[in-house]
Structure 1
Amino acid sequence: MEGFRLGFRKVVHGDGRAMGATLFAIGTAGVPMGRLGAADDGLRLVELDPMLIRTTQTTVKQQGATIPALVESMKRNGFVVEPDRLIDVVRMPDGVLTSLDNTRILAAQRAGVNIQARVFEHTDLLPDDLDYVSRFIGRKGEIPVTFGDAVANRISNQNSLFRTVYPYGSPYIGSAH
């Protein structure tokens, strides 16, 4: 790999207990390129600053806890990894990360806490999981094959201004709360 340096990040459980250090490759723009060492979580999670992650939708949809309640929880407990609701981010062709999961990104931004996420390249194939893939069907019925396709389809389902201005995702996200 060219244009990278190595760095260590402390990996913690949602309750703040240390899991150990993880070796990362840091891209020339300072964005983690993925974990090189193994943490004992087995989930291949990378700690990321949510302020550096673009989003694929104009707003967040309320699912479960309200945004203010989620923010308060993150302020008290930090970011809690939920194995059945992992955050997936995609390194797009411009090298910047874009999230496929926006609600907890917004809450973490507001709480001022880092997130734990899985990082995929835009060329990586999506899992063979119909429930997962069905979240990213395009506005004209396009079935995504790669994580980059999933980002493109999610963005294609937004209004034309968003699609035009933010073809790889937006640095801004809104909510009604």
Structure 2
Amino acid sequence: MISNTGIQVLTRGENTKQPTPVVAPEGVRQYAVAQEAEVLAVTEALKLQDALPEVAALSLAGILAKLEVIVGADRDIGDPTDFPWPHLASVLRDLKVIAGDLPPYESDRSTTRADVARHLKHATQLVEDVEMEEAAEDIRQTATSFAETSVFPKPAEKPAEFRELSRRRRSR
């Protein structure tokens, strides 16, 4: 027995359209803010990664830390067997054997929270600016379309008696 699943490929006979989920406008806005904040945070992380080659390690622990950042930077690349990842991972393992592992790091969450708040504020401002720009464009388009569709009457012509008076005055 085949039941109507609503999925066209799995259902014989009639097609059933699934209702489209409705997202509240505030939910869309919050998603846009979160997405923009994520982009800003990733940008900051990439800036730190780009600056890493310029930072000199002053100890074996510093070398280990730099290699940890390099190896962990692109774990989601398509083919992790590509150079230089296996080589760097090998060097990192060797260094850990010789120097020992890094001591556990306990981060200060207040710095992270401050960064998140800053990125969230920036993202909110960007989304608000885009919304204001879109609203202004809608107003401009509405005004333009109203002006194009509006028909203003031609000025009324002067009655004959006024034209006659005007001619007499000019001839004097």
Instruction: With the length of structure 1 as denominator, give the TM-score of the two structures.
Output: 0.18
Instruction: With the length of structure 2 as denominator, give the TM-score of the two structures.
Output: 0.18
Structure number with higher strand proportion:
1
- Greater radius of gyration (CA): 2
